[in-house]
Structure 1
């Protein structure tokens, strides 16, 4: 038996419930969890590549399939559908541990990529995005629970920083590769090319997970929550209702949109910790903050390459380079906050991050309004990525610190549900407002996301727990 394997087995023997703090720890790539970390980082890498690549080529996809009217829907559908996947994965993980839901989520992700990659029409592509959106979102919850149950508390922030760092290479090469595939071969390879890499990434995690199965075991006494599943389906449907309202004439578009937003708020309450919608201090406000900043950031991100292609006549590869700067700065800022550790509190990290994000989005809005140099948009979006990277890992760390073991799946799912619903509703509202405004392409969309970011600035201090 190798020395690394002996050490891992010793860790398992000493505890079957919590990570070991008395062992010499090292980092995420220390021998006890090296292959597990590499497998998780690889899955995040592939998810990042898919997101960045699709964002880069979607303007071409919409043009090729004559589906410009469904552009925003192609992004909001996987986000909204992912809510259902996250609820199922969270409940399943709490009951049986992360392995089974992780495998099922990976299978759905691959099936969705096949459908999207072979789609003859834009509606079929949106269907494929729905399926792989469910699978892609469901993957995240088991990964978070693995971090909570396998890694010592002192290493978790560095693992989440590693997740962010796994975006670095895709952010550098993803847009360029996606642009090359779309221009020289076919945009379909952006979807189909990822499939061959998912299986090896999953295989890297399988044996390490089996070795720590006692640490990651679920609690069969946790009941299946059919009501939460029903609420998640309702929330996803309502969020999509906001997107589809753009196809209606006045005044029905506004009636349906406002009704759908209200229904989303009602449906999401059972999916969030108590007090989330009123920004109760501590964990509830943390979940809400992630919802808000995700809406502001991702609601802007999908339009930036479109802006550069449509107004400045950039190629897809060059337009996608704006995502490269943000990905690099996100990973760098995430590494920095991990190194700073307790020297910067969670609430201070969130305050700094939201302030930087809001300022950057204002600059992006001015570029769209005034026709400023695209270089300014590149710089601003790089700053936005840094703001996100500095605060995003702290959301996960804070929620896990404040969660009892039996609720880790629920609360981790709440974080990712908030992220998906925040982005989906933000995209829907941007499309709705833009459809009602004559002229000023992209300006209306960015006005909406700036307003969302300012809400985040106002709420940032509530991340601090009430007792602190």
Structure 2
């Protein structure tokens, strides 16, 4: 008991020391990235009305996630060549440039180019924030700093959709991206002001050989997602089938290439094996990430087109999903290990139930039911994700546990990118290829959710196959 008291951190003293205040400035980059990521859904109806290009809506999230994955993998290695402060300032300015491109885009292709640049900057900012914890702050306060990061993600998930909705409702969707362009410049200036020590201003290379950067692996992933997204543009049976098959083959090749780089891999050796707890956990993460992106990408657009629902209402619905995630995650945080599997399975069933419910509620325009499905889906993620992550990391061999812990958010991002690209195929094949109208939206609404129900079932089966107790770690 005395030991716990001694290790407890005085938050007031931590703020007075300047460490906490300095880290809050660093977290501005995370806030910009995460808020922008969730905001785009609620500006989509106004943006499509201005730029057209409804057949490319799925690309808006896919290209952002591609940029974030590539930049996130590169940013940590770049600090061995360029100082941390210079890296963070550069990432913030790249992010700002991408947001400015989006704000001034004259067409949907130009907007997508801006989203890719934004993804590069945002992904690098997030990665560098985690690097800064290890580089700039004493180890004894790391848990508190990671807690701050979690709080920032929660604030971003809640505020992003509302910012987009309010901007679209009262100003313009372009103003929403303009605000983030200014925020990127502010983040760069904050880095210049608060990152002054030698650990932040000098490059760090201790003489040890750097692990090889996975250029070919990440290029393969990016090309694969683009191929899948391309299958949804100008949908024809032969062309779309060939592009989809090539994209799925590329995803398989990506994991094969990653396995061949033991010193620089992004995933453990067998990330999708049905025979291991780690593999089943990763399959669950991948399946649900792909299956649940539909409402984020197309929900506001469908509700606005079909039922005249205000973007502010859809913003509140998406925010409610994020709140449910955060609240239920906190409520189950102290669950003993022997109950983990039951909670993970319950969360999986909630997520799958949310996807199935959307298939009825969105075409019907039943706002209370849509809100219930959003809360069900977000709450399912909230109670399942912490324990799935722990199961995955605990099941990994000791030499791969660091890779396994970082692989969970990477798999989630890949799932979002693939899911957004796949949504475009379903949406365009079921009506949006002919343009946006209430008639085409009616044809798209149910199919967009029904098409991903099999992945919801796969996620539940993977959750069922997880071990009953993850307290015992895997052998080294």
TM over 0.5: yes
Structure 2 contact 33–125 (Cα < 8 Å) conserved: no
Which residue, out of 321, 336, 346, partners 2:316?
A: 321
Deviation at 1:294, TM superposition (A): 2.1
Q: In structure 1, how many angstroms separate the alpha carbons of the residues matched to 2:279 and 2:81?
A: 23
Give yes or no for the alignment of 1:293 onto 2:280.
Answer: no
Structure 1 contact 91–409 (Cα < 8 Å) conserved: no
Describe the superposition over 1:241-286 as per-residue Cα deviations: whole angstroms up to 9, x where unpaired.
Answer: 1011122422111111111111122113404221002256355554
Give yes or no for the alignment of 1:467 onto 2:474.
Answer: yes
Deviation at 1:57, TM superposition (A): 0.7
Kindly tell me: are residues 161 and 287 of structure 1, through their superposed partners in 2, closer, same or farther at Cα, counting changes over 3 Å? farther
Structure 1 contact 88–229 (Cα < 8 Å) conserved: no
Give yes or no for the alignment of 1:254 onto 2:269.
Answer: no
Q: What pairs with 1:74-223 in structure 2 (closer than 5 Å)?
A: 74-92=60-78, 101-146=87-132, 156=143, 160=146, 162-201=148-187, 203=190, 207=194, 210=197, 220-223=207-210
1:375 matched residue in structure 2: 368
Structure 1 contact 87–229 (Cα < 8 Å) conserved: no
Structure 2 contact 348–380 (Cα < 8 Å) conserved: yes
2:450 matched residue in structure 1: 447
Structure 1 contact 53–175 (Cα < 8 Å) conserved: yes
Let me know the Cα RMSD of the aligned residues. 3.8
Structure 2 contact 325–380 (Cα < 8 Å) conserved: yes
Which residue, out of 358, 363, 369, partners 2:357?
A: 363
Q: Which moved more, 1:194-203 or 1:395-404?
A: 395-404
Q: In structure 2, how many angstroms separate the alpha carbons of the residues matched to 1:385 and 1:100?
A: 37
Name stretches of at least 5 consecutive residues in structure 2 with no aligned partner: 259-265, 432-441
Q: What pairs with 1:423-434 in structure 2 (closer than 5 Å)?
A: 423-434=416-427
2:270 matched residue in structure 1: 275
Name stretches of at least 5 consecutive residues in structure 1 with no aligned partner: 1-20
Structure 1 contact 95–218 (Cα < 8 Å) conserved: yes
Structure 2 contact 62–418 (Cα < 8 Å) conserved: yes
Structure 1 contact 275–284 (Cα < 8 Å) conserved: yes
1:4 matched residue in structure 2: none
Q: Which moved more, 1:33-42 or 1:179-188?
A: 33-42
- TM-score normalised according to structure 2 size: 0.79
Structure 2 contact 228–421 (Cα < 8 Å) conserved: yes
1:309 matched residue in structure 2: 304
What is the SS of the residue equivalent to 2:292? helix
Describe the superposition over 1:18-76 as per-residue Cα deviations: whole angstroms up to 9, x where unpaired.
Answer: xxx99623388861642254235433332232123211011211220121111111221
Q: In structure 2, how many angstroms separate the alpha carbons of the residues matched to 1:45 and 1:282?
A: 33
Kindly tell me: are residues 113 and 372 of structure 1, through their superposed partners in 2, closer, same or farther at Cα, counting changes over 3 Å? closer
Q: In structure 1, how many angstroms separate the alpha carbons of the residues matched to 2:275 and 2:103?
A: 43
Q: In structure 1, how many angstroms separate the alpha carbons of the residues matched to 2:26 and 2:383?
A: 21
Question: Alignment length, in residue pairs?
Answer: 444
- TM-score normalised according to structure 1 size: 0.81
Kindly tell me: are residues 359 and 70 of structure 1, through their superposed partners in 2, closer, same or farther at Cα, counting changes over 3 Å? same
Q: In structure 1, how many angstroms separate the alpha carbons of the residues matched to 2:84 and 2:279?
A: 24
Q: In structure 1, how many angstroms separate the alpha carbons of the residues matched to 2:141 and 2:340?
A: 15
Q: In structure 1, how many angstroms separate the alpha carbons of the residues matched to 2:335 and 2:209?
A: 34
Q: In structure 1, how many angstroms separate the alpha carbons of the residues matched to 2:64 and 2:338?
A: 34
Structure 2 contact 355–377 (Cα < 8 Å) conserved: yes
Give yes or no for the alignment of 1:334 onto 2:329.
Answer: yes
Q: In structure 1, how many angstroms separate the alpha carbons of the residues matched to 2:141 and 2:342?
A: 19
Which residue, out of 21, 44, 48, partners 1:62?
A: 48
Kindly tell me: are residues 155 and 86 of structure 1, through their superposed partners in 2, closer, same or farther at Cα, counting changes over 3 Å? closer
Structure 2 contact 38–161 (Cα < 8 Å) conserved: yes
Structure 1 contact 236–264 (Cα < 8 Å) conserved: no
Describe the superposition over 1:157-194 as per-residue Cα deviations: whole angstroms up to 9, x where unpaired.
Answer: x6555434324444555434323322332211111102
Q: In structure 2, how many angstroms separate the alpha carbons of the residues matched to 1:217 and 1:333?
A: 40
